[in-house]
């Protein structure tokens, strides 16, 4: 997850850079512009994960650790993304994996996907 966080920082930086130039260089700390930037970065994160999961089952961080996502269809990948966005930051999915008999994250179990070693 640390590797993925580093990659997401780069994705966020690039998305903010694109947003800055698309908005004409406006100050992104003002009201609705800040919210638009946050939504744009969230959309960039979603695009990154969905693209990687659907094109080969691996993000760059997953490739480094030789982990692949199985069972990823457009529907299951979107469900996995939505559930992970809620369950991972709160720690629920991580704690679940400690007690799950197959060591699966809760968002994988609910989405019908599985992480496997390559």
Structural domain boundaries in the chain: 2-117
- Alpha carbon 103 to chain centroid, angstroms: 20
Q: Count CB-CB contacts under 10 A for residue 25.
A: 8
Which has the closest alpha carbon to 99: 89, 111, 112, 109? 109
- pLDDT on residue 28: 66
| pLDDT tens-digit series, residues 22-73 | 888 777 667 888 899 999 999 999 999 999 999 999 999 999 999 999 999 9
Q: Count CB-CB contacts under 10 A for residue 36.
A: 14
Which tokens hold the place of 13? 């930086």
The sign of the torsion formed by the CA atoms of 99, 103, 107, 108 equals negative
- pLDDT on residue 7: 96
The structure's pTM equals: 0.90
% of the chain with per-residue pLDDT over 90: 85
């Amino acid at each position: 997850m640390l590797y993925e966080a580093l990659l997401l920082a780069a994705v966020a930086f690039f998305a903010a850079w694109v947003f800055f130039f698309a908005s004409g260089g406006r100050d992104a700390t003002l009201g609705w512009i800040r919210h638009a930037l946050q939504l744009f970065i969230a959309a960039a994160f979603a695009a990154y994960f969905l693209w990687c999961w659907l094109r080969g089952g691996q993000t760059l961080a997953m490739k480094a650790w030789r982990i692949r996502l199985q069972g990823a269809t457009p529907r299951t990948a979107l469900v996995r993304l939505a559930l992970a966005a809620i369950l991972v930051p709160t720690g629920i999915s991580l704690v679940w994996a400690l007690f799950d008999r197959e060591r699966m994250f809760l968002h994988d179990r609910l989405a019908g996907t599985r992480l496997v070693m390559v």
